[in-house]
Structure 1
Amino acid sequence: MEPFSDLISDRCSKLQAPSYLNLALSIFILLGILISYLPQHYRIIARGTSEGISPYFILLGTTSGTCGFANILVLPASRADVACCKTVSTFECAAGLLGIAQVGVQWTCFTVILLLFLVFFPRGPDLPQNTGAKQHTWRTAVTVAIICLVHGVLVIWVSVALMITRPTYLGTWANVLGIMATVLAAIQYLPQIWTTWSLGHVGSLSIPMMLIQTPGSFVWAGSLAARLGVEGWSTWGVYLVTGCLQGCLLAMGIVFEVKARRTREAGSDSVSDESFSPQYITDPRQPSNGTCVVGYLPSEGATAETDDEGGPVVEDGLSENTPLLNGSRQKSKATP
């Protein structure tokens, strides 16, 4: 317990002399994390479907976030900061706990994505049947949610048990959680990259979210590294990895969106050209009912001859409704 007491004294002295630049940056990152997830939440709700989002991306992201949040909670430096709140001022305590708040907000926002993914999961085949992308079932979505819940309960149970019975092992447990979070985060975007590549579009995945989070991941990693030092590599290393992989997914999504926009513009141009093509322009001298008889164009001032049913007579007293193989036509042609 003596080393931890020394750590508390050291952390308390640092909290009593906060860096206002780091404080402002931490608040900015906290708000940025919250705002960055709002476009993703809105896109799923607005589209009414979570189509295009890989369930394995949700599974790995949620479990990685759970490990990351538990990591910073049981980290000795974080526990020392919490212990210092008994001796430092409220402002200094709040400033010292901003790192924990950042990870907590990130975990909460991603958990909301998990809930929206489950609520708006497409029950029917939204994708075309000729696509090569595998369509996941409702059972897959429910299984992902159950695994995330069980994983969270196990992490909480182990953390609390070690905190009560073996507090000296919490540092090792924090490193284990950090490694798990890093590994899960490293492969988190691989299923989503594959899903987006297979679909050829981003679906319900939000590009504005990735535009904010990709550079923000590197800024966040730098802020946590400055706060936790090299000893906290298991915490800030996660966001370096996720920033790189999310950047790859962002680049792919932008390429697909640009292609889709060009295709839509080309399609609208072709439709407008066809609508003004001469073959679609109706001669004003033709009958107003839209009936067009090939080879028949009445001259100005002339009255079109009609049959008993009111249809125009083309030739030999035959109307447009007369079958082409009518016997009367053959007889008329046989008469000299």
Structure 2
Amino acid sequence: MTARAWLANHDRCRELASPDIFNFVISVFLVIGILVSYLPQHFKIIARRSSRGLSPMFVLLGTVSGTASIANILTLPESTTDMACCKEIGRFPCAAALLGIAQIGVQWSCFFFIMLLFLIFFPRNPKPDQVDEQDANLPTWKEAVLVLAVSLAFFTVALLGSIIFVYAVPSHVRSWANFLGLLATGLAAIQYVPQIMMTWKLQETGSLSVPMMCIQTPGSFVFAASLAVRLGPGGWSAWGLFIFTGCLQGCLLAMSLWFIWRDRKAAKAADEHGASRSDEQTPLLHNDTID
């Protein structure tokens, strides 16, 4: 390490030794918010005991994107410097410095759990004659298993690649981190396309949680701002991902809300029509009884 690099790291550690309480509270709130935002999706899949309505490509791309994102922030020089500073600063400043990593780690863990629930509760149709025309075009069990296999394979590649770049070729670690960040951003952008297509095909949300999207859509922009403040312009590949995600998830949320409003309006009209027919028939039935 050069003298200039050592001084830069030392200055960074001195800066982290006195964490801003306001930023710390906001960061903790974001970690809790990320965890809470995914709970409705977990609960809906478990409660329905079905992952129908979730696109396999949406789940796969989200899992791989999350893996690339956590590998990105763990290998960024800014993050490794912060982690190294934990040897020189106290426990509280260390915890405050690593909250940015914790935020992405919690998000990755929650989406990985969605992937597992998607596989566990994937709908199975034992008899072909029980499959209606709409379900015939839905994903198969083999596709669901493929999602798990590819997710685990990429996790292994990202883990081994990060270890090699951090310890064997550290001079290229920023390029590796930026590659992972770009990959995560690109996959996050593509991720919502198959889910939008799936939701549009079904004309319903299925097991896709609207409350989750209501929390996450604005939260993505807050999250991006938090990471931008923590990592600065050099960490653009980390916080840029969440700006993309917020915009695309907002489109999916708008479509889902429209489907819900349409279905409720149709159900209300059907109830009113049924009540009207009942009112018309009641006097006739009453007269027949008297006669």
Determine which structure has greater relative contact order: mean sequence separation of CA pairs < 8 Å that are 6+ residues apart, divided by chain length. Answer: 2
Q: Is the 8 A contact 1:12 1:81 kept in 2?
A: yes
Matched residues, number: 286
1:63-90 Cα distance to aligned partner (Å, 9 max, x none): 0000000000011011011111011010
Measure, in 1, the Cα distance between the counterparts of 2:5 and 2:99.
21
Aligned match of 1:284 in 271, 283, 289? 289
Measure, in 2, the Cα distance between the counterparts of 1:179 and 1:15.
27
2:171 aligned with 1:155 = no
Q: Which position in structure 2 is the counterpart of 1:226? A: 229
Q: Which position in structure 2 is the counterpart of 1:114? A: 115
> Highest CA radius of gyration, 1 or 2?
1
1:102-154 Cα distance to aligned partner (Å, 9 max, x none): 000000000000000000101128x9734398311000000011000000011
Q: Which position in structure 1 is the counterpart of 2:168? A: 165
| TM score, norm. by length of structure 2 | 0.94
Following TM superposition, by how much is the alpha carbon of 1:61 offset from its aligned partner in structure 2, in angstroms? 0.3
Matches within 5 A, 1:191-270: 191-270=194-273
Q: Which position in structure 2 is the counterpart of 1:174? A: 177
SS in 2 for 1:277: helix
Amino acid at match of 2:289: P
Q: Which position in structure 1 is the counterpart of 2:100? A: 99
1:244–1:133 distance in 2 versus 1, CA, 3 Å: farther
Matches within 5 A, 1:1-336: 1-2=1-2, 4-124=5-125, 129-131=132-134, 134-278=137-281, 281=285, 283-285=288-290
SS in 1 for 2:182: helix
Measure, in 2, the Cα distance between the counterparts of 1:202 and 1:224.
31
Identity %: 50
Q: Is the 8 A contact 1:7 1:80 kept in 2?
A: no
| TM score, norm. by length of structure 1 | 0.81
Measure, in 2, the Cα distance between the counterparts of 1:140 and 1:149.
14
Measure, in 2, the Cα distance between the counterparts of 1:20 and 1:113.
33
Which structure 2 residue ranges, 5 or more long, are not aligned?
none
Following TM superposition, by how much is the alpha carbon of 1:275 offset from its aligned partner in structure 2, in angstroms? 2.4
Point out the more displaced range, 270-279 or 50-59. 270-279
Measure, in 2, the Cα distance between the counterparts of 1:178 and 1:73.
11
Measure, in 2, the Cα distance between the counterparts of 1:98 and 1:64.
20
Which structure 1 residue ranges, 5 or more long, are not aligned?
287-336
SS in 2 for 1:281: helix
SS in 2 for 1:32: helix
Amino acid at match of 1:108: S
- Is the helix fraction higher in 1 or 2? 2
